[in-house]
Each structure stands twice: as structure tokens, then as C-alpha cells.
Structure 1
Amino acid sequence: MPHNANHSVQHDEMHSLYVNHHSWLFTWIRKRLDSPFDAADLTQDTFLRIHAKQNAATIKEPKAYLATIAKGLVCHFYRRKSLEQAYLELLAKQPESFVISPENEFIILQTLEEVDALLNGLPSQVKQVFLLSQIEGKKYQQIADDMQLSLATVKRYMKQAYVKCFVLMGDDFFE
């Protein structure tokens, strides 16, 4: 089959997937979000992910597949909202003279989201120790006292978090 014909078939299959499942997927996502606009965005993002990574014809169970992708996007959406809220609360505590440009605010939020993603695979106590140290600036002994852990455990958790960050950052860190 010529390349153009193959592309046309893939386009038709993707179009069919979209037409047949857009409405229920939007409704499914809408039930999980406060905003119909956010639901519409995440519905589009779901189809874009499939279009970018998969041939629609290979999807055997479209509803289950779409719901799985959408569930991940909804979780990511709420995680990002939570990070944004924590960041805004921190900003509100700063003196009025403390001003961050919209560009820098975007960069900070992106960085927080990347750090959160890096730490997601860690056990919750390891993640909490790392965040208390790196975000709140607490000393290891203070973290140990607050969390009722030994100093050695806090150090071990920090090492575990650092190793995870370095491994996941891979070659990008050393370029």
C-alpha cells in the first residue's frame, strides 16, 4: 500500500475513533473536573496522545484505552493544580515588594511539576523528607525530630531521593 493511502486509512480510523467516542469521553472526564473547559482540553489531549503514539486501528478496546489515558491526564491535572495552589499560597506569604514575572512564574511551576514527577515513584516518607529538606529548607535533624525518624534514616531517604532524581534526569543533567 502506498504511503499516502496508508496515511489516509490511519486518518480515517482516527476520525472514526474521535467521532464515535468523543462525547462519552468528554462526559466521563467532565464528571471528574470542576470546569467544562478543562474537561474539553483533557478530552482533546487524550485523542492527541493517541494520534501521536498509536495507530487507531490497533486499539482493540477503545473505551477502556481512552479511559486509561484520560485517567492519567486527570491525575496529572489535579497534581498540577495542587502544585499551583501550594505555590500561590507560598507567594501570598511573601512581602508585597516580592514580585515574580509571569515568565518566571511559568518556569517555576514547570520545574515544580518536573520535580513532582521525578519523585512520584518514591515511597511517601522518602518524598516527604526530600521536600521538607529541599522546599522548606529544614535541616536533617529537624526533619528527623518532626517525623520521629532517626537521623540515619533521613540521610538514607535523602540519598534515595537524590539517586532517583539523577537516574531519571539521565544524560540531560550532565550535558
Structure 2
Amino acid sequence: MTGGQSVLQREIHILYQDHHGWLYQWLHRKLGNRFDAADLAHDTFLRVLAGYRQDTIPVLDEPRAYLTTVAKRLLINFYERQSLERAYEASLSLLPQQHMPGLEERAILLETLQELDALLDALPARARTAFLLCQLEGMSYEQIAAHLQVSVRTVTRYMAQGFKQCLTLMLAQAA
């Protein structure tokens, strides 16, 4: 460590040094794959670091419990992403060969699907359902209201939430 490091950098370095090996082993046992375990261990510490905007991190009575909680959330995201990728690959396998997208196009489509999944996951369940029924099934607000047993005004509010999420994502990508 250099003398020019901030207190935050030193504390994160100590946390990393003391617990990275343990966290990696824990993730490796869960995943059975050392590459994914290394990625998720790294992402866990990045998430911890990103969570602290002050000059110091709080004193952690149980740092491993804290790291485990963060890592479990990342594991859930990892498994959801894998599930989405499998569903995408399964749907592609149903396409005739002449309509099969190239590797680059497939990667772009998968990335877009992951972004949409994250965007929709941020919505409350009923708002997400209303948004998908409208956008994918082409149902009218009245049909959605009947299906969800809510008022058309509530469906309008749900749709506004969905469009706001889309706009937020678009603005974040433009920045």
C-alpha cells in the first residue's frame, strides 16, 4: 500500500485481503466453476466499494455475513441471467437456419434482453404484467383492466411506470 491511499482504499484493501479467498471458495462451492466464482467475488467487492460514498466504510461486526449477503444477491442475478440466456437459445433453436442471426447480432439481442429483463424487474409485479400484456400481447387498457381486475385508470398508471422505466434506461444509455 502506498502512503497516498485514502482511508476508504485501505479499509477496502484490508477487507479484500482478509476475506477474498474465503468468498471465492464459498462461491466456487456454490457454482462449481472457478471462473464464474472469481467474477462474482470480484463483483461483490466492486458492489461493496460502490455502496460507500463517504471516506470510510462502516465497521462490520460480521464482514463475511455482509459479503455473503451481497454475493447472494449477485448469485440470484447470475442465475436469472443464465435462465434468460437458456430461454433465448431455446427460442433461437426453433428458427429456420436461414433466419438464424449471426453471432454478433445474437450477442446484441441477448444484451438487449438482459437490459429489458432488468428494466421490467424494477417494476412492481402488476405494473410489469400490465406493461407486458400491452406491449407483447397487444391488449388494450380496457382488456388489461378486466384481466387484472383493476380500473383503466390503474392500468394507465401501470403503463406510465413502464414507460418511465424505458425512458430512464434510454437516458442512462445515452449519457
Regarding TM over 0.5, the answer is yes
Say which is worse superposed, 124-133 or 68-77, in terms of deviation.
124-133
Matched with 2:120 is 119
Native 8 Å contact 1:30 1:39 kept in 2:
yes
Q: CA deviation at 1:71?
A: 2.1
Q: Does 1:35 align with 2:33?
A: yes
CA 64–95 in structure 1, closer or farther in 2 if over 3 Å, else same: same
Output one character per residue of 1:57-81: Cα deviation in whole Å (capped at 9) or x when no partner: 5242132332232122112211211
Paired with 1:40 and 1:56, the residues of 2 have a C-alpha distance of 27
Q: CA deviation at 1:50?
A: 3.8
Matched with 2:17 is 19
The amino acid that maps onto 1:79 is E
Paired with 1:79 and 1:92, the residues of 2 have a C-alpha distance of 20
Taking structure 2 as the reference length, the TM-score comes to 0.72
Paired with 1:103 and 1:174, the residues of 2 have a C-alpha distance of 21
Q: CA deviation at 1:53?
A: 5.9
Q: CA deviation at 1:144?
A: 4.3
Paired with 1:133 and 1:87, the residues of 2 have a C-alpha distance of 21
CA 173–42 in structure 1, closer or farther in 2 if over 3 Å, else same: closer
Is there any run of 5+ residues in structure 1 with no aligned partner, and where? none
Native 8 Å contact 1:140 1:154 kept in 2:
no
User: Pairwise mapping of residues 89-168 of structure 1 onto structure 2 (< 5 A)?
Assistant: 89-134=90-135, 137-140=136-139, 144=143, 148-149=147-148, 152=152, 157-166=158-167, 168=168
Count of residues in correspondence between the two structures = 168
Report % sequence identity: 40
Native 8 Å contact 1:13 1:56 kept in 2:
no
Q: Aligned-pair RMSD on alpha carbons?
A: 3.5
Q: CA deviation at 1:158?
A: 3.4
Paired with 1:172 and 1:57, the residues of 2 have a C-alpha distance of 28
Q: CA deviation at 1:156?
A: 5.3
Native 8 Å contact 1:118 1:164 kept in 2:
yes
